[in-house]
Amino acid sequence: MAVYTKFVKRNIQEILSNYSLGELNSYEGIQEGIENTNYFLLVNNKKYILTVYEKRVKPLDLPFFSKLMTGLNEENFKCPAPVMNNQKKAITDYKNKKMMIVTFLDGKAKKILTPQNCKLVGTEVAKMHKITKDFNIERQNDLSIKSWRKLFNSVKDECSKIHTDLPKLIELNLQDVEKNWPKNLPSGIIHADLFNDNIFFQNEKFNGFIDFYFSCNDYYAFEIAICFNALCFDGLQSNLSFNVTKAKNFVDGYSLIRKLTEGEKINIKTLSQGAALRFLLTRVFDALNKVEGAIVKVKDPIEYLKRLEFHKNSKNFEDYFF
């Protein structure tokens, strides 16, 4: 979440005129995140989030996101629910921008997850994978391995400004991943961005996922690899280390709903290396392409070098969760 498109009160009121929610009490831009513009809304004393779609989000993908969140809510899975406008549509057009209002999810994100938190999250990820298995919607992963070489080429000449050895390190890891990327693993709809700030807890109990705007169809095990990178490393940039206990708990929780195949286990090293590379590349791109005047926290790409080092040097799945 972030603020690229700046609205004043009148703009928010004009947007709300296409809904039957009531009077605007207050609004505030949300700084966290990097992809879309987000505002917290208090309308008729009820909380909502207004998301204005920017940058990487394609208008044709928006029905997928709205149907996914609506479907999950219908199955009592905790996540924001799209609010229909007066035309009974989830997507609203305003000043040449596409946007959506969703319900507010109570709870807070935790900066650091405990091993027990990781087990809870693993179970909920597997539940989400199981629930969405029969959803009749599909979206290609625009940030899959097929896009990484092109993304690297777009930053190759400039990324040494961030770290001297970055071009060489990215190239080595990219060659590894391209050579070893698995085929024909179990796949379906994944969230694809389950970092701490997209996972809400309330009184130490899981209370839902937010920010589904990278969701797509891909390997289920790639989701697990993303979570390993996002949730299972401890420490600061200089002494970052992989927490095997967190990873094992995550997989134990996931396995309560869905068991991993042998193919998924064998390929978790390559998938985790690829997940680290994907987030390194997008963070490098964002760091080199800052939007002037935007209210946004650009995330540090360098912390992903330590993650890549671990994945490149690991031998097999036993280094992750056994």
**pLDDT in the model for residue 308:** 94
Please report which confidence band the pLDDT of residue 316 belongs to, taking 50, 70 and 90 as the band edges. confident
Q: What is the mean pLDDT of residues 247-251?
A: 97
- The number of beta carbons lying within 10 Å of the beta carbon of residue 88 is 6
Confidence (pLDDT) at 108:
94
Rounded Cα–Cα distance for residues 69 and 77 (Å): 9
> Looking at the domain that runs over 109-321, which CATH code has it been given?
3.90.1200.10
Contact 276, 314 (CB under 8 A): no
Q: Which of 126, 127, 105, 116 is nearest to 204 (CA)?
A: 116
C-alpha torsion 282→144→217→63, nearest 10: 50
Residue predicted with more confidence, 266 or 238: 266
Query: For the structural domain made of 9-103, what CATH number should be given?
Result: 3.30.200.20
Residue 293 in this model has a pLDDT that exceeds 80: no
Mean pLDDT of 267-282: 96
| CB within 8 Å of 212: residues ≥ 6 apart | 65, 68, 69, 79, 191
Statement: residue 271 has pLDDT above 60: yes
Q: Is 76 left (phi over 0), alpha (psi -120 to 50) or beta?
A: left
pLDDT digits (tens, 9 = 90+) for 187-214: 999 999 999 999 999 988 999 999 999 9
Confidence (pLDDT) at 297: 61
Name the one residue in this structure whose structure tokens are 């969405």: 132
| pLDDT tens-place string over residues 11-44 | 999 999 999 999 999 999 987 656 789 999 999 9
Residues of the chain with CATH 3.30.200.20: 9-103
Which residue shows structure tokens 């400004």? 161
Please report which confidence band the pLDDT of residue 237 belongs to, taking 50, 70 and 90 as the band edges. Answer: low
CB 69 within 8 A of CB 82: yes
The token duo for 122 is 């693993």
Q: Who contacts 91 (Cβ-Cβ below 8 Å, separation ≥6)?
A: 62, 63, 66, 98, 99, 100
CA distances (Å), 107 to each of 19, 33, 229, in order?
Answer: 25, 17, 23
DSSP readout, 91-143? -EEETTEEEEEEEPPPSEE-SS--HHHHHHHHHHHHHHHHHGGG-S---B-TT
- In the chain, residues under CATH classification 3.90.1200.10 are 109-321
Distances (CA, A) of 19 to 71, 139, 152, 223: 21, 28, 42, 35
pLDDT band (50, 70, 90) for residue 1: very low
Least confident segment among 44-53, 142-151, 169-178, 295-304: 295-304
Q: Locate tokens 């703009």: which residue?
A: 11
Read off the pTM. 0.93
Tokens of 92: 């609203």
CA 12 to each of CA 49, 86, 246, 270: distance values in angstroms, whole numbers, following the listed order: 12, 16, 42, 45
What is residue 234's three-state secondary structure?
strand
